[in-house]
Amino acid sequence: MAAAEAEASGLCSSMAGAEPGAGAGPRGPVMDEAGPAGLVMDEAGAAGPATGEPGAEAGAAGPVVAEAPPPPPLPGLQLVRQGAEACVYRGIFLGRAAIAKLRIPKRYRHPALEERLSRRRMAQEARSLLRCRRAGISAPVVYFVDYVTNSIYLEDIVDSITVQDHINSIQQSGNDTGSLLTLAQKMGELLARMHDEDLVHGDLTTSNILLRPPVEKLDLVLIDFGLSFVSGLPEDKGVDLYVLEKAFLSTHPDTEAMFKTLLKSYAAASKKSGPVIKRLDEVRLRGRKRSMVG
């Protein structure tokens, strides 16, 4: 199920009844915690030997052995996918089709720090989902957050597919490619509404947006708010769009016109689009300079 598989890459959530509040969320993803001495953290969250330590040279590390997935938080749940941050299970929760995201603890962190991070990130994800739904933005329902097992239970969008799979299918078949521009317009409107609520997704990709059946209706659902946060800064929203642009164009070749349509729709629908688009252009320039310098 696309809804469950697309959720596997992130994990952060809050209690189903939590009030979001206008400024309750942190300004950005948690960045203040550090790993244990002697380890350095890369952008993906992986730990490795600090520079200058034995074994720091390229190729010195041994093969990585994948750990067996943990048991499901409830009996009867079926493992869908194991990601870097969470294992995703599908099943029935209180009589409703649901997915359960079980956070994978980082063994290099102190247990007290890991517990603190897990609670914070789970709380923020659920608050973001609630914030979306109260603003009329389609997102999964939060059923329950279990801080004991570090798991969150969400609505399973049954028979949905990811926007990524839909675009790939259209491109491979060559049928009705004009509908992709309409899809891009809908995506731009959806993201404009989200940003107008001062909610930054943090991990915008075409695999984190679902299409409810039938796909012809282009009923979009935002998922995987594990890196989300509340911010009114145009910089944060511009970076959000830049992340989507990089993921979009790397995953779907020859879709430049589609992304331009998305940005045009975003600018028309958002009440705060001017500064955001300006920041997006600045972020693009910074990205090009980094690429040139290497």
Token pair, residue 294, equals: 């290497």
Token pair, residue 170, equals: 């259209």
Q: How far apart are CA 142 and CA 38, in angstroms?
A: 39
Instruction: Please state the length of the chain.
Output: 294
Q: How far apart are CA 245 and CA 234, in angstroms?
A: 16
The structure tokens 């991990």 sit at 203
Q: How far apart are CA 2 and CA 156, in angstroms?
A: 9
Neighbours of 262 (CB within 10 A): 26
User: Is 146 marked active-site?
Assistant: no
CA angle 45, 51, 54 (to 5 degrees): 110
Neighbours of 116 (CB within 10 A): 14
Q: How far apart are CA 140 and CA 130, in angstroms?
A: 9
**Which among 156, 203, 236, 240 is annotated as catalytic?**
203
Token pair, residue 258, equals: 């589609």
* Catalytic site positions: 203
